[in-house]
Amino acid sequence: MGNKLKHWIQINNLPIRYKLISHFLIISIIPIICLGLLINWTVERVLEEQVNDNTLQLISKVNKSLEFYISNMQSLTYFIGFNEKVQQFLAAEAAPNPANEYDIQRFLRDFTTLSPEVAGILIVNSNGDYISNEFFAPSTKDLTEESWYKEAVDNNGIFTIIGQPKDRGLSSLVNYQNDEVVSVVRAVVDPYADEVLGVILIDLKQRVIKETLVDVRLGKTGYLMLVDDQGRNIYQPNDPLIETIPNKWITGQDSGTFSKEVNSQRLQFIHQKSPFTNWTTIGVFPAEETIFEIREIRFYLVSFIFLLMIFGIQISYFLSNSISNPIAQLMQFMRKAESGEFDVRYREKRNDEIGMLGRSFNKMLRQINHLMSLTKLREKEKRDAEFRSLQANINPHFLYNTLDTIQWMARKQKASDIAEVVESLAKLFRIGLSKGRDIISLDEELDHIKNYLQIQKTRYRDKLNYQIHVGESVRDLYVIKFILQPIIENAIYHGIKERRGPGHIIVTVQEKESKLSITIEDDGAGMTELQLQEMRQALNEAITRTENKGETRDKKGYGTLNVQARIQLAFGEGYGMHIQSEEKWGTTVEIILPMLKDDTGLLKGDATQ
């Protein structure tokens, strides 16, 4: 892990020029290489699929052509078998009739004339007698013992393809060789007695099959060949790439592709079996013919990628220099500025980020020069201000000591009421300063109110009466200072003062729904409904209104709005004051505050305590 981190740090410390060159090369060359590999793989796959699909389409067309010829042979067997004279011959109910046999031979010759693909037709009845237009057999030969005859009888009237003849006891007038024809047979069955009356044999010229397959070329040297269901060759061209195809290569598959190594040459095979003839047409061609096309495409692709890489390297070098050179120049100016040369400037005109950075650098140097001049001036002014401050400074302790002296003199003169007022005023100043703290204990805030009410009590005497009730669970809490005095001042001047007879102010401090509730109630003059709505609207806009001090400070209620704004700025809009008032019955103000456990603003019950 340490070696990897060290290696990464070394890479990270490389100059930005080399990083940019590497970056541009990576984002250009790697995608190009990946794209080339993807194109190569795609082209290879598409070409292979295209070759296979085209070959299968050719094979399918060839199979349909072969099926057409074989289907014609099947129709011929039915047409011949339904002939009345042929049926009489097959029934063998009477002695042979030469005239009838001659008519049948002429009937068969008409088929060979109309269908040149037919090499010969032979009709054999169950007694071994036969009639043909081309074939003849030795008189000693019993044709019912021939393998083709027995196979036709076993299939009981179903059209059967025998394939190329083998060890057949027949001779032909044209003397077709066994590999020049393909034989088909069908037994004629009596539909009433369900007995085989005889067999019809037809030879199909292999020339027709050859003409169908020989014109189909696969590539330069590829070809089509035809094998039967036993794997025996029905047709293959001269000088084939492979003499015979083992039946196990294609057994169990109606169609497919495969490749084999034959005589040190990789051959590609594509085959499809005809369900009608049970013959399999196989396309054979060297795999290198497809590979050659792929190699040609690959050559052009590699050449294109190589050219792109060359241009990519040059472009990467140019782009990296266009970015790194201005940065290097700017670094030189910064080094000069570090050494104290603040008169250097970035002169190149650019509108990109580097140009913006250069202009910011120039602006920074101008500001440094300005600040250095300003600092010298401020130092001089500071020395002058300190001297004047020593002369004009009033120590707060001097004010406290002076008030204590006045209190002592009042008590000496037995003016106890003056002494109490002075004492309350001294405490009021002391708590108001509170060593610069904004958050003080609840006890300190209540002491501040008590002192304020004591001073007002001296003025209003029996007209002002007050009570303060504090719950035990909230005595150790903290609040923002100076939040009660403005409210109580409003209660005195706008409530108690305006009513007839003595008035009362009750301050209640308690916990309410996990929050601190401070209620100030008075039984003064109260507010009209319009005044109450205006006050509530002003409290909702307290922060906005207090910011415009020139417009608000001289209006009534500024102190109350100031308290509301300070609470909401400190704790959010969920806290603050709520006012209820009724004319001639008094006003109730409730202040909702969070439960602060100390003067840092930490809530009571926080997990951090």
Both 163 and 220 in one domain: the answer is: yes
184 falls within a domain: yes
pLDDT of residue 429: 60
List, for residues 361-397, the tens digit of each pLDDT value: 788 888 888 887 877 776 665 555 443 433 333 344 4
Highest mean pLDDT out of 272-286, 493-507, 575-589: 575-589
The tally of domains found in the chain comes to 3
Same domain? For 168 and 250 the reply is yes
Query: Residue 469's pLDDT is what?
Result: 93
- Model confidence pLDDT, tens digit, residues 237-291: 888 888 888 888 887 778 888 888 888 888 888 888 888 888 888 888 887 766 5
- In angstroms, the CA 543 to CA 562 distance is 8
Q: Are residues 281 and 347 in the same domain?
A: no
Average pLDDT of span 421-425:
64
> Which pLDDT does position 509 carry in this prediction?
95
Query: 362 and 284 in one domain?
Result: no
Burial code (b: 16+ CB inside 10 Å, e: under 16) for 280-300 equals bbbbbbbbbebbeebeeebee
**What integer pLDDT is reported at residue 420 of this predicted model?**
65
User: Could you give phi then psi for residue 348, rounded to 5 degrees?
Assistant: -70, 135
Say if residue 96's pLDDT is above 70.
no
Statement to judge: residues 265 and 352 lie in one domain: no
Residue 379: inside a domain, yes or no?
yes
For position 114, which CATH number holds? 3.30.450.20
402 pLDDT above the threshold of 60? no
More confident residue, 390 or 403: 403
* Residue 45 reports pLDDT greater than 60: yes
Q: Indicate the helix (H) or strand (E) that contains 512.
A: strand 503-512
Mean pLDDT computed over 17-23: 66
Q: With helix as H, strand as E and coil as C, how does 246-312 read?
A: CHHHHCCCCEEEEEEEECCEEEEEEEEECCCCCCEEEEEEEHHHHHHHHHHHHHHHHHHHHHHHHHH
In contact, 220 and 289? CB cutoff 8 Å: yes
Give the domain-ending residue among 294, 329, 352: 294
Answer whether residue 132 is part of any domain.
yes
Does the pLDDT value for residue 78 go beyond 80?
yes
The alpha carbon dihedral of 467, 473, 475, 480 has a sign of: negative
In the chain, the amino acid numbered 341 is E
- Which helix (H) or strand (E) segment holds residue 517: the answer is strand 515-522
Q: Does residue 141 lie within any of the structural domains?
A: yes
**Whether residue 89 sits in one domain with residue 234:** yes
> What would the mean pLDDT of 149-177 be, rounded to a whole number?
82
* pLDDT of 370: 80
- The pLDDT of residue 483 is above 80: yes
Give the integer Cα–Cα distance in Å for 362 and 432: 49
Domain span holding position 501: 462-593
What mean pLDDT comes out for the span 208-232?
80
Query: Does the structure show a pLDDT above 50 at 8?
Result: no
Q: Is it the case that residue 434 has pLDDT exceeding 60?
A: no
Least Cα distance to 503 among 514, 493, 495, 494 occurs for 495
pLDDT digits (tens, 9 = 90+) for 108-118: 888 777 888 88
Q: Are residues 252 and 380 in the same domain?
A: no
Q: How confident is the model at residue 409 (pLDDT cuts 50, 70, 90)?
A: low
Q: 381 with 289, same domain?
A: no
pLDDT value at residue 407: 60
Helix axes 416-433, 396-412, angle to 10 degrees: 170
Examine the domain organization and report whether 490 and 374 are in the same domain: no
- Domain assignment present for 378: yes
Taking the C-alpha atoms of residue 102 and residue 133, their distance in angstroms, rounded to an integer, is: 10
Q: Give a yes or no: residue 318 inside a domain.
A: no
* Per-residue pLDDT tens over the stretch 303-317: 777 777 777 677 766
pLDDT at 607: 40
The answer to whether residues 226 and 361 belong to one domain is no
Residue 515's pLDDT is 92
DSSP secondary structure code for residue 500 in this structure = S
Q: Is residue 229 part of a domain?
A: yes
pLDDT band at 594 (very low <50, low <70, confident <90, very high): very high
- Do 147 and 259 belong to one domain? yes
